[in-house]
Amino acid sequence: MRNLRRGRAMMRGVRILERLDELYEIGGGEGANRPGGSAEEDRAHELAAGWMEEAGLAVEVDAAGNLIGKTASPDVWAGSHLDSIPNGGKYDGALGVVAGIEAVERVGRGAVVAFRDEERGCTGSEAFVVRGERPPTFLELHIEQGPVLEQAGAPLGIVTGITGMVRAERVFEGVAGHAGTVPMSARHDALVAAVEYVLHVRNRARAIEGAVATVGRLEVEPGVANVIPSRVRLSVDARAPDRPRLDRLVAELGLEPLFELEPVPMAAAPLAALRAEVEARGLPVVELRSGAGHDAAVLANAGVPTAMLFVRSLNGGVSHSPDENSSPEDIALAVEVLAGALARLP
């Protein structure tokens, strides 16, 4: 009997990896290429719908395009997202959906959701809660996307809270001119002003404990090698562990938020279920905050009792990259813990 159970577990582990490979191949090119709202994201949802049906789940799609598979007792939910950034990683988002299907099938209760368009601002989960959807409990399994678990030698981590985030844009105006004829003392170079602001972003984030801020996109006009830049638009991504520090960072950077996620703690009951399952397997209990935003934060902020389980990221924790990696052994453990937690929760 023990050999039979081990054989079934191995088959399920192989199935998870095969499904992740199948999703990864959508779109072609290097890395994962399933942008939110694209035909590739549609194809990923079609695949996942088929897997949900194979698991005996009743499949539905809501008004925002979120994919939901339910058992007859949908009292605990799991899931994540299937979209990716261009040239993204194999495990980000996709693992949470594939593992959720597997875990719900194993325990024979609960529901799985694949939210739409997480990468551009959690639009699927935002629409889900705006319409008043409130699952009794939600668990999201996700790769860490950082180096903490790898450095700690721990395969899994329990997320105690999700850092708050603000995304914004700043525009800097200058005066275009010939690169060879306008003296340096007479220039109004928009890019120089923007670069000074980029350094300001770095310095202010460094001054606030636990805060981070990133300028990830610059659009320079007119974008010609021999013309002084007349206009620069840049993006700012600012994050901090709690509301006071996030507010301070936003104020010091002069931001008007275009998108915002509140800092949010995870709920006691699902955290306890995850912790008990990790302890039952003799694994170290490593608790950490998530510096990345997730659909779980949207549900938690809407009042849904929510918790997250991280799987160790390898390669120094790199993510949003084809180099993103987690081991099959860690993934198998994570699915066991997720399934066990779903079974424990009332």
Per-residue pLDDT at 157: 98
3-state secondary structure at position 314? coil
Per-residue pLDDT at 11: 60
Q: How far apart are CA 131 and CA 153, in angstroms?
A: 42
pTM, entire model: 0.86
Per-residue pLDDT at 10: 54
- For the chain, the structural domain boundaries read 2-163+263-344, 165-260
Per-residue pLDDT at 25: 96
- Let me know the angle formed at the C-alpha of 226 by 222 and 229, rounded to the nearest 5 degrees: 35
Q: How far apart are CA 331 and CA 328, in angstroms?
A: 5
Q: pLDDT tens, position by position, for the chain (346 residues)?
A: 555 555 555 566 789 999 999 999 999 889 999 999 999 999 999 999 999 999 999 999 999 999 999 999 999 999 999 999 999 999 999 999 999 999 999 999 999 999 999 999 899 999 999 999 899 999 999 999 999 999 999 999 999 999 999 999 999 999 999 999 999 999 999 999 999 999 999 999 999 999 999 999 999 999 999 999 999 999 999 999 999 999 999 999 999 999 888 899 999 999 999 999 999 999 999 999 999 889 999 999 999 999 999 999 999 999 999 999 999 999 999 999 999 999 999 9
Q: How far apart are CA 343 and CA 346, in angstroms?
A: 8
Alpha helices in the chain (DSSP H): 2-24, 39-54, 94-107, 123-130, 148-152, 190-206, 243-253, 268-280, 295-301, 328-344
For residue 327, how many other CB atoms are within 10 A of its CB?
A: 13
Token pair recorded at residue 337: 């813990």
Per-residue pLDDT at 261: 85
| First-to-last C-alpha distance (Å) of the chain | 29
Q: How far apart are CA 263 and CA 211, in angstroms?
A: 12
Per-residue pLDDT at 17: 96
Q: Give me the CATH topology for the region 165-260.
A: Alpha-Beta Plaits (3.30.70)
CATH class of this structure's domain 2-163+263-344: alpha beta
Q: How far apart are CA 167 and CA 210, in angstroms?
A: 17
Closest Cα partner for 112 from 84, 140, 134?
140
